[in-house]
Amino acid sequence: MTDAITYELMGDIAILAANNPPVNALGYDVRIGLVQGIERAEQDGARAVLIYGEGATFFAGADIREFGLPPKEPFLPDVCTRIESSPLIVVSALHGTALGGGLEIALGSHYRIAVPSARMGLPEVLIGVMPGAGGTQRLPRLVGIDKSLDIITSGRQIGAGEALELGIIDRVQDGAPREIGLAYARELLDMGAPRRAISEMPAPAPVDFDALYDATLKKSRGQLAPAVAVRGVQASVELPFAEGMKRERELFRELMETDQRQGMIHAFFAERQVGKLPELKGVAPRPLADIGVIGGGTMGAGIATSALLSGLNVTMLEMSPEAAEAAKGRIAGNLSGALKRGKISQAKFDDLTEKALSLTTSYDDLSQVDLVIEAVYEDMEVKKKVFTQLDAVCKPGAVLASNTSYLNIDEIAAMTSRPGDVIGLHFFSPAHVMKLLEIVVADKTAPEVTATGFALGKRMGKVSVRAGVCDGFIGNRILSIYRTAADHMILDGATPYQIDAALEEFGFAMGPYAVGDLAGLDIGWAVRKRKRAEGLPEGARDFTYADKLCEGGNFGQKTGKGYYDYAAGARARVPNPDVIPFIEADRAALGITPRDFTSDEIVRRYMASMVNESAKVVGEGIARRPLDVDVTLLYGYGFPRYRGGPLKWADMVGLPGLLADIREWAETDPNFWQPAPLLEQLVAEGRTFDDLNKESA
Ligand code: 3H9
């Protein structure tokens, strides 16, 4: 026996307890321990076997860290089959999260009991694979095609109550998993309950799997795993059980070989790694109970909503009582969304809006808050005034945060007598929905202030990324470059519609011009005006078509027209006929003869510009590691998760090819295509961005 599974014989019941913290992943030691435990139970003359997990959870799935390495026997599907084929009664007692291979072990058992808080599911598609240890063969026999496809293709977790209703588990009972499992096994033995192998149950009736495959592929926007999983379920209907298991394994292995699997597993580990910074090891955050928010527009109200939902008291400061009431209305509107979705009760809603939220027009009311976030107009002079006033009233030790999306936090901090307490907390709109939080660490920000930013993000359920100070920090700085690459392609002959289509095909939820229409074209207009006023870099290509759209009052969806005409609804996205003539006028003025672009070239240029700027952001230390950029783009900019993030994608397509493209394009536009020194260095050394992630771990 291995240490990962301990064996104990209690009368005629053998107990196999998993001890593989933190999540009892089904690594090699656990698998071999389970097989040996079953064999030993049979040899010892036991009549039943109980399987349960010590610690936080039943098995949370196969050990993802083993993926990509040569698989080692016993393979998980064989372990499940070995459990199921035992002549003894096998009971699994579930707590925590029985996921993927964990649920498959439970389905290989003959009976399943769970504590009320247990959650279960087959989330393999969320890491780019599909159930590979009988999940697609056993679950349909238990719950039918519709339910099993819902569970498998969404990867969602279901609670014990729903699992009981569906018949995935046999009983829900409060108590320690070991105790409830033992009592259940005893009861089953005493009543002479039969062995009950799901593989021996009849398969569900056939349905139109081709149609289901097509529908699933369409829904998952280019991600393959959910659709391939449909083929696995199809095998449960069309093939005898053992053949179905073989087919499932083949499909699982096919997915295992894909870049999509690599991308999604990279995303899984990156989002867990992103908050782990060496500089914060052992640094305690400051306590947080009361926070202030300055400015109750869309952004401020979203931040306040998120803070209230995470249990903080919020003082909202506005310029006038009317503006404060309007902010409260926005917050209540946001919270009523949570109420409608059943996330909070009416009593909680009342409590949050009437007790936890207070309104003020006086800075004095911020004197006792632990942290204050300003979300006022993006103007340095306005921000400086706010911070001067905060410095005058806030208690010592209060964290003073700016939600600016590009302004220099060092300059803002310098307005105060306590720059160590100043930090950037860049939320993304709508702030109560979007998961990304950029924590912008200025020159003098104290480590415990950074730790407090991360603690706030965690409390709010955000994915927080550390960023350094520069124009646009990590995300908006990179965005401005790849948007420029797209604008250049338009000048040279592409249309916004072609570009949107190519990038949506690549996997972005929306192309850049559709996103512009959604966010409001006035934002980019203001940025262009500011940059022109500051002076464009020499040789930079400028254009006017986007300004002309804005000058005509066309700011996108909110005005009914932008790159698209929304008269027929937001989804219709009919091209606005004014756009192409504006573009043609720019081309004529610049003496450009338009040329054709293929979708492939559009993606390549757009992505190369994104990767190149990302490499600059990492090289300059604005992002600590490549994974910080990947997480930023995944959570704030709609980057397709199955591609892992721009730098993981770059590793997979190959850095030398990307650099060669950039060098070639630099021959015609040396101003824009300046290779990042870090990219050149990695190519010269034959290394990848992921090597840098590993070195920093
Ligand atoms: C599968 O089962 C395939 C089979 O069908 C077929 C096979 C043939 N492996 O998330 P947390 C680590 S595919 C290795 O922070 P939480 C995680 O990296 C698998 N490590 O905690 C972290 O490490 P660290 C299907 C894993 O409480 C630590 O555990 N299963 C695994 O917020 C704590 O994790 C899944 O996809 C793993 N499977 O959430 C489940 N899981 O401390 C994936 C976690 O060094 N896991 N770790 O950063 C989860 O969804 C969540 O981790 C879970 C706990 C809900 C379990």
Q: Class of the 475-696 domain?
A: mainly alpha
- pLDDT computed for residue 674 by the predictor: 96
Per-residue pLDDT reduced to its tens digit, 627-636: 999 999 999 9
Residue 697 predicted with pLDDT over 90: no
Reported in sequence order, the residue ranges of 32-185 that DSSP labels E, i.e. its strands, are 48-53, 89-94, 97-99, 111-114, 119-121, 158-159, 171-172
Residue pair 426/463 in contact by the 8 Å Cβ criterion: no
CA distance 373 to 425: 8
Condensed to tens digits (0 to 9), the pLDDT of residues 478-509 reads 999 999 999 999 999 999 999 999 999 999 98
What is the pLDDT averaged over residues 96-103?
98
State if residue 373 touches ligand 1 by the CB under 6 angstroms criterion.
no
pLDDT band of residue 571 (cuts 50, 70, 90) is: confident
Residue 255's pLDDT band (boundaries 50, 70, 90)? very high
Ligand 1 atom closest to the Cα of residue 249 is 8
For the chain, the domains span: 5-123+132-199, 288-467, 475-696
Q: How far apart are the CA of 393 and the centre of ligand 1, in A?
A: 46
**Is 104 labeled as catalytic in the residue annotation?**
yes
pLDDT category of residue 145 using cuts at 50, 70 and 90:
very high
- Residues 364-378 have pLDDT tens digits of 999 999 999 999 988
Which ranges constitute the DSSP H helices of 44-134? 76-85, 101-108
**How is domain 5-123+132-199 classified at the architecture level of CATH?**
Alpha-Beta Complex (3.90)
- Residue-level pLDDT at 29: 96
- pLDDT on residue 692: 97
Say if ligand 1 is within 6 A of residue 255 CB. no
User: 124 an active-site residue?
Assistant: yes
Identify the CATH assignment for 288-467 out of 3.10.200.10, 3.40.190.10, 3.40.50.720, 3.40.30.120.
3.40.50.720
Interacting residues of 332 by C-beta distance below 8 A, sequence separation 6+: 353
Give nearest CA residue, ligand 1 atom 47: 23
What would the pLDDT profile of 208-231 be if each residue is shown by its tens digit? 999 999 999 999 988 999 999 999
* Ligand 1 binding pocket includes 61 (Cβ within 6 Å): yes
| CA of 197 relative to ligand 1 center, distance in Å | 27
- Its pTM surpasses 0.85: yes
Which is more confident, 429 or 130?
Answer: 130
Dig out the tokens for 676 from the structure.
């990042």
Q: Which residue has the higher pLDDT, 655 or 535?
A: 655
Residue nearest to atom 49 of ligand 1 (CA): 60
- The predicted pLDDT at position 696 comes to 86
Q: Which residue has tokens 């003496």? A: 591
- Closest ligand 1 atom to Cα of 276: 48
> Does residue 409 register a pLDDT over 80?
yes
Nearest atom within ligand 1 for CA of residue 102: 2
SS3 614: helix
Token pair for 61: 């799935």
DSSP 258: S
| Residue 428 clears pLDDT 80, i.e. is over it | yes
- 245 in contact with ligand 1, CB cutoff 6 A: no
pLDDT at 2 over 80: no
Nearest CA to ligand 1 atom 46: 60
Q: Is the pLDDT of residue 1 over 70?
A: no
Q: Contact, 595 vs 587, CB < 8 A?
A: no
Per-residue pLDDT reduced to its tens digit, 660-684: 999 999 999 999 999 999 999 999 9
C-alpha 185 – ligand 1 centre gap (Å): 28
Phi and psi at 112, nearest 5°, equal -135, 130
Percent of the chain having pLDDT more than 90? Answer: 92
62 Cα–ligand 1 center, Å = 8
What would the pLDDT profile of 410-422 be if each residue is shown by its tens digit? Answer: 999 999 999 999 9
- Secondary structure, 3-state, 407-461: CCHHHHHCCCCCHHHEEEEEECCCCCCCCEEEEECCCCCCHHHHHHHHHHHHHCC
Nearest atom in ligand 1 to the alpha carbon of residue 130 is 5
- The phi and psi torsions of 277 (rounded to 5 degrees) equal -120, 130
Cα angle: 93, vertex 240, 79; to 5 degrees: 35
What's the CA-to-centroid distance between 23 and ligand 1, angstroms?
A: 6
Q: Is the pLDDT of residue 28 over 90?
A: yes
Name the residue at shortest CA distance from atom 18 of ligand 1.
269
Confidence bin at 126 (pLDDT 50/70/90):
very high
For the chain, give the percent of residues with pLDDT over 70.
100
Cα–Cα distance measured from residue 286 to residue 397, given in angstroms and rounded to the nearest whole number? 8
Q: Which of 124, 271, 438, 613 is catalytic?
A: 124
Mention every residue, 6+ apart, whose C-beta is less than 8 A from residue 216: 149, 153, 226, 227, 229, 230
* pLDDT, tens digit, 9 for 90 and up, residues 546-564: 999 999 999 999 899 999 9
* Cβ of 465 less than 6 Å from ligand 1: no
Mean pLDDT over 183-189 rounds to: 98
User: Is the beta carbon of 451 within 6 A of some atom in ligand 1?
Assistant: no
In tens, the pLDDT along 319-344 reads 999 999 999 999 999 999 999 999 99
694 within ligand 1 shell (Cβ under 6 A): no
Q: Could you report the per-residue pLDDT of 50-63, keeping only the tens digit for each? A: 999 999 999 999 99
Over residues 590-616, the pLDDT tens digits come to 999 999 999 999 999 999 999 999 999
C-beta of 76 in contact with ligand 1 (< 6 A): yes
CA dihedral sign of residues 319, 324, 326, 328: positive
- Interval between CA 60 and ligand 1 midpoint (Å): 6
Of 132-146, 169-183, 483-497, 564-578, which range is least confident?
564-578
Cα(59) to centroid(ligand 1), Å: 9
Banded pLDDT at 519 (limits 50, 70, 90): confident
Q: Check whether 424 has a pLDDT greater than 70.
A: yes
> What is the position in ligand 1's atom list of the atom closest to the CA of 131?
5
From the CB of 124, is ligand 1 less than 6 Å away?
A: yes
- Computed over every residue of the chain, the mean pLDDT equals 96
pLDDT at 523: 81
Residue to substitute in 20, 23, 641 for testing ligand 1 pocket (most ligand atoms within 8 angstroms of CB): 23
